[in-house]
Structure 1
Amino acid sequence: MDAVSETKEPRYAPYANGRFQMAMGLVALDLTDWIDVDDSRAAELCEKERLLAVQHEAVFGDLPGSAPAQREVLMLLLDNLERCHPGLISCDDGMVTVAETGRTYRLAGFADHALDLAGRLVQEDLCLMTPGEEGYVLHAASLCFPARWVLAEKLGRPMMGIHEHVSGYAEKLGRPVDRFFTHLKADKPVARLNWSVVDDPALFQTSGKFRNDGQSVITPENAGDRLWLRVERQTLRRLPDSGDILFTIRTFVDPLSSLAARPDLAAGLRAAIAEMPEGMQRYKSLIPFRAALDGYLGALMERAA
């Protein structure tokens, strides 16, 4: 069994209550807390720059007609960062500079693809949704840290199509989500949390759903170092001018061993996974290491008893 980790505790623990529910789980969002900033900012912005340089088409995409809404997003982000996070960026004479990386960008150079620049200024991924014949569709995205999905496969698709492989989505969430998107007000932004346990700490992941690898090399003894908690803090707000909806995704990855000093969170995670339907466990690729994960969490609880 692992020793107590020096790793800091997870910042968000949506599994803490021990329940797993297919629900939107929305809470009101104060726009002063819209953008999440922590000490990983410099490293994550540099990783975004690397991904955009070596595989731009994999992490950024937009469709015709999205440019005005993209520019609206950029202006809202610049304003929010300057008011709520002073010192992170500086704007002067049509240029914006990021303090942590020292990079300077010319606004005019991103006139037609403003979401590309917007994504370089924040740790969040940014997804722009616009009304379509089958509901809101993904119109543009800066997606450097996908949780096992491919942007090119989702661009231009409605919410139901985007989530077609998510176990239980069509039956339980499809219609409520579509109704929510239709009625979301510009002055009522919201936030929610999503979580999973993964065997790869990489932020950029385009594959890995529905894995069933049989015997895993992960055991109750090494699970603390071989598994990671991946939590997404997501926000949704309607853009006041274009009427489109901006969906942001801020990703946090912590080693499972970060629960070593929190047996209460270990108990919550264990109970939530026990409640998770098998179809969702398969979708999240928990099956190969499900027994090892349960054994590790159970040991943490026993040690604290």
Structure 2
Amino acid sequence: MTAKTMPGGPRFAPYASGKFQMAMGMVALDLKDWIDVDHSRATELTEKERLLSEKHEAVFADLPGSEAAQREVLMLLLDNLERCHPGLIAFDEGVVHVAETGKSYRLSDFGDHALDLAGRLVQEDLCLMTPGEAGYALHAASLCFPGRWLLGEKLGKPMMGIHEPVSGYAEKLGKPVDRFFTHLKADKPVSRLNWSILDDPALFQTSGHSSTVQHREITAENAGKCLWLRIERQTLRRLPQSGDILFTIRTFVDPLCALEGRPDLAASLRGAIADMPEGMQRYKSLIPFREALDGYLGALMERAA
């Protein structure tokens, strides 16, 4: 399945500075904006149902001891949806009804796996981080739209282990991220944006990082329709009762040609890629189509000049 954002181009442009920044980039989050809802909600929730039915072990997993925090997440989501997005769900007598899909869920059917149900109510993926000796570790997740990582390989690992393949993470972000997680306050949720350019628009992707396979079929002329901007809007909030941290990921995918009316963003993206260290370019699998991408973005800029 491919995500589609609103007409008129990408909603978010975290590359707009024209520089590549290996930084957390956290900003304060108002909880009324915690959950993102748009025109793709019914389609994406239906896709989640399909994945949870056909690939359940690949998209949901949890560890013993996470049960109370999972229930806390579900209750917080139900409350937020009812208060901030009225009409999307109805919750009464232990049953949740979802307006767009017509699905109904009985809480008791999910037992100790409340995060499984929580993930079916929102477009976001949900990752539950629990403190441990090596830092905060992934103890439960509903991850239907992974950005080229496999849940089974990350479950139980601390942040440093989860991000081990990411070029430069250990040296530049490892310790700051661990400190941030330790000191995050329950009343101070935050959000951040992450971006990548992929040769595949699918929301569900479990592999593909550090690819060196050349894409000779992708050229400066067709890159706008062969490449996609994938933006993740991520939020972090400490759960007030359990003390665990919930990490949410809302994914947006646009064809690169969405920038055709925005030569300013084309220039910014071109600059950010040029500023990106080669190791990160390799991790993000940009190398196989880097020349075509640069040529396409340059052409957009020239066309607008």
Q: What TM-score do the two structures reach when normalised by structure 2? A: 0.97
Deviations 1:17-49, CA, capped at 9 Å, x for gaps: 101110000000000000000000000000000
Per the alignment, residue 153 of structure 2 pairs with: 153
Q: Which residue of 2 aligns with 1:17?
A: 17
Task: Name the aligned partner's letter for residue 240 of structure 2.
Answer: P
Equivalent residues of 1:7, 1:257 under 8 A apart: no
Residue 237 of structure 1 aligns with which residue? Answer: 237
Correspondence for 2:183: 183
Q: Does 1:117 align with 2:78?
A: no
Once the two structures are TM-superposed, the CA of residue 237 in structure 1 deviates from its matched residue by: 0.2
- Which residue of structure 2 lines up, in the alignment, with residue 3 of structure 1? none
Task: Tell me the SS of whatever aligns to 2:177.
Answer: helix
Distance 2:42 2:215 in 1: 38
For residue 253 of structure 1, give the secondary structure of its aligned residue in structure 2: strand
Q: Secondary structure at the match of 1:135?
A: coil
CA contact (8 A) 1:26 1:190 kept: yes
Return the letter of the residue paired with 2:105. Y
State the distance in 2 between where 1:32 and 1:7 align.
24
Which whole-Å CA distance do the structure 2 matches of 1:204 and 1:277 have between them?
Answer: 27
Residue 180 of structure 1, CA deviation: 0.3
TM-aligned CA distance change 1:60 to 1:215, over 3 Å: closer
Corresponding letter in the other structure for 1:138: L
Structure 2 unmatched runs, 5+: 1-5
Q: Using the alignment, how far apart are the partners of 2:97 and 2:129 within structure 1?
A: 27
Matches of 2:20 and 2:277, distance apart in 1: 9
Task: Report what 1:276 is aligned to.
Answer: 276
- Cα distance in 1 for partners of 2:169, 2:276 equals 14
Structure 1 moving runs of 4+ over 3 Å: none
Residues in 2 aligned to 1:93 and 1:215: alpha-carbon distance in whole angstroms: 54
Q: Given residue 275 of structure 2, which amino acid in structure 1 is its aligned partner? A: E
Q: What displacement does 1:7 show?
A: 5.0
Q: Report what 1:53 is aligned to.
A: 53
Q: What is aligned with 1:64? A: 64
Whether the 8 Å CA contact 1:45–1:120 is kept in 2: the answer is: yes
Q: Structure 1, residues 247-283: CA drift from partner, whole Å, max 9, x if none?
A: 0000000000000000000000000000000000000
Tell me which amino acid in the other structure corresponds to 2:66.
S
TM-score by length of 1: 0.97
d(CA) in 2 for partners of 1:257, 1:201:
13
Query: 1:216 and 2:177 equivalent?
Result: no
Separation in 1, partners of 2:63, 2:94: 25
Please give the root-mean-square deviation of Cα atoms over the aligned residues, in Å: 0.9
1:168 matched to 2:168: yes
In structure 1, how many angstroms separate the alpha carbons of the residues matched to 2:86 and 2:215?
50
Post-superposition offset of 1:215: 4.8
- Tell me how far 1:197 sits from its aligned partner: 0.3
3-state SS, counterpart of residue 200 of structure 1: coil
Counterpart of 1:300 in structure 2 is 300
Q: CA deviation at 1:8?
A: 2.6
